[in-house]
């Protein structure tokens, strides 16, 4: 097995990676829904947010602070812009890592207009002193600016105009409770259902002026790992293929053929995912096998296997992390169309898996 050339593409630039690459950043602005009505899926979040924003508008008040949590590419930045648009307010965009010192935050806060939305992306990556300043700003619309150093330092209170903080995080669990508690509304974004992603694909195709049949959209949606960003990216690759190899119309066959070229399979697994599963099944009989051994077998770093490939395999129910090591589920054998060794010997399919799970 030679997966060396799998290393040519950094994990972060995988076609099915959820983080935004350069091309995504360039085109995403054009594909972003502009208001809540255009935002697809996330019914509960939309309904709740709609109430929060309507009520604030009716009171002529600034909306409560909103925390958006969820995996990359599910629409947090999009929703933050929608919140500002729905409130008819300007939006200022910054991120946790960009705020090194409390002073950086004070400068931003003190320059906000009344009612402005401050979007703080990756809020879990803010420095501790900035975080503490934010507590007071969120609660009392006030910050203490420290002037001078050492024993002579004095805190000068500074009034802020009311604003709406929209914080986004992929790791809600990492937020200190005092910060989490200061948000009036917390929305947790879930992965999208295939039928929702189909709508995302149709919508984007029409914005990009690409012809697509319903089956073609379904084919792309099914491979998009529950993530609109990935759906939009796959759509662009399929569009290329349809233009070069056919008449430009995206049918089911065209979508499937295009994504086969990019090695994204029917379930959205890419080459790395399949390499991990294949090693687990073919070399270790489905496990249990230790992470390090598995990583060596696929020629990848431990971290790549653990952080890049495994989360989706676990989410899809193809791989389980157990105290004794990584174990393939019956669904993994079925997906790679392989027969578990015990099942082959014992006759009954799936039999051999039972002792692995202690069932």
Ligand X SMILES: Nc1ncnc2c1ncn2[C@@H]1O[C@H](COP(=O)(O)OP(=O)(O)OP(=O)(O)O)[C@@H](O)[C@H]1O
Instruction: Give per-residue burial for 179-195: e unless 16+ CB within 10 Å, then b.
Output: bbebbebbbebebbeee
Q: Which is nearer to ligand X, 189 or 289 (CB)?
A: 189
Contact call for residue 62 and Mg ion (CB under 5 A): no
Q: Which stretch binds Mg ion (CB under 5 A): 27-35, 68-76, 205-213, 333-341?
A: 68-76
Q: How far apart are CA 89 and CA 203, in angstroms?
A: 26
Q: CB nearest Mg ion: which residue?
A: 77
Q: Output the known binding site for DNA.
A: 302, 321, 326
d(CA 217, CA 200): 9
Interface region with Mg ion, contact rule CB under 5 A, candidates 45-53, 69-77, 146-154, 158-166: 69-77
- Using Cβ positions, the residue closest to ligand X within the complex turns out to be 75
Annotated binding-site residue numbers? 31-32, 73, 76-78, 139-141, 182, 192, 229, 302, 321, 326
**What residue 148 binds from ligand X, Mg ion, none (CB within 5 to 8 A, per partner kind)?**
none
- Residue closer to ligand X by CB (options 171, 324) is 171
Site residues, ligand X (CB under 6 A): 19-20, 28, 31-33, 39-42, 72-78, 170, 200, 228-229, 232
Coil, strand or helix at 63: coil
Helix (H, G, I), strand (E, B) or coil at 132: helix
Residue 77 binds Mg ion, judged by CB under 5 A: yes
Rounded Cα–Cα distance for residues 65 and 42 (Å): 19
Q: Which residue, 42 or 329, is less far from ligand X as judged by CB?
A: 42
Question: Angle 341-347-353 (CA atoms, 0-180°, nearest 5)?
Answer: 45
CB 168 within 8 A of CB 159: no
Give, in order, the Cα–Cα distances in Å from 171 to each of 174, 180, 231, 328: 6, 12, 22, 27
Stretch near Mg ion under the rule CB under 5 A, chosen from 74-82, 188-196, 250-258, 305-313: 74-82
Q: Which is nearer to Mg ion, 76 or 225 (CB)?
A: 76
Nearest CA to 196 out of 157, 234, 163, 224 is that of 224
CB of 46 to ligand X, least distance (A): 9
Report the nearest approach of ligand X to the CB of residue 256 (Å): 23
The set of catalytic residues is 76-77, 121, 170, 229
CB 171 within 8 A of CB 76: no
Does residue 251 interact with Mg ion by CB under 5 A? no
67 phi and psi, to 5 degrees?
-110, 125
Nearer to Mg ion, 14 or 76 (CB): 76
């Amino acid at each position: 097995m030679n997966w060396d050339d799998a290393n040519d593409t950094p994990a972060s630039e995988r076609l099915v990676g959820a983080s935004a690459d350069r091309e995504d950043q360039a085109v995403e602005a054009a594909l972003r829904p502009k208001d809540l009505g255009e935002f697809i899926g996330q019914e509960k979040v939309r309904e709740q947010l709609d109430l929060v924003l309507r009520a604030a508008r009716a009171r002529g008040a600034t909306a409560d602070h909103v925390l958006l949590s969820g995996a990359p590419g599910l629409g947090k930045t999009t929703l933050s812009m929608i919140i500002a648009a729905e409130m008819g307010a300007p939006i200022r965009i910054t991120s946790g890592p960009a705020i090194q010192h409390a002073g950086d935050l004070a400068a931003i806060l003190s320059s906000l207009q009344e009612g402005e939305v401050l979007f703080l992306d990756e809020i879990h990556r803010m420095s501790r002193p900035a975080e503490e300043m934010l507590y007071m700003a969120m609660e009392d619309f006030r910050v203490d600016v420290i002037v001078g150093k050492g024993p002579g330092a004095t805190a000068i209170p500074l009034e802020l105009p009311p604003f709406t903080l929209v914080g986004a995080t992929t790791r809600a669990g990492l937020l200190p409770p005092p910060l989490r508690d200061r948000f009036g509304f917390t929305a947790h974004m879930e992965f999208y259902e295939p039928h929702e992603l189909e709508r995302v694909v149709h919508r984007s195709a029409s914005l990009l002026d690409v012809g697509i049949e319903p089956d073609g959209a379904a084919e792309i949606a099914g491979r998009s790992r529950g993530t609109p960003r990935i759906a939009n990216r796959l759509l662009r690759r399929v569009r290329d293929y349809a233009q070069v190899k056919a008449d430009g119309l995206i049918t089911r066959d065209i979508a499937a053929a295009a994504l086969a070229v990019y090695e994204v399979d029917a379930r959205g697994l890419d080459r790395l995912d399949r390499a991990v599963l294949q090693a687990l099944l073919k070399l270790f009989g489905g496990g249990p096998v230790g992470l390090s051994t598995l990583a060596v077998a696929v020629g990848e770093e431990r971290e790549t296997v653990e952080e890049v490939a495994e989360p989706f395999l676990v989410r899809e129910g193809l791989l389980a992390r157990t105290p004794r090591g990584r174990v393939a589920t019956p669904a993994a054998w079925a997906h790679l169309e392989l027969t578990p060794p015990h099942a082959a010997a014992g006759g009954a399919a799936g039999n051999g898996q039972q002792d692995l799970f202690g069932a």
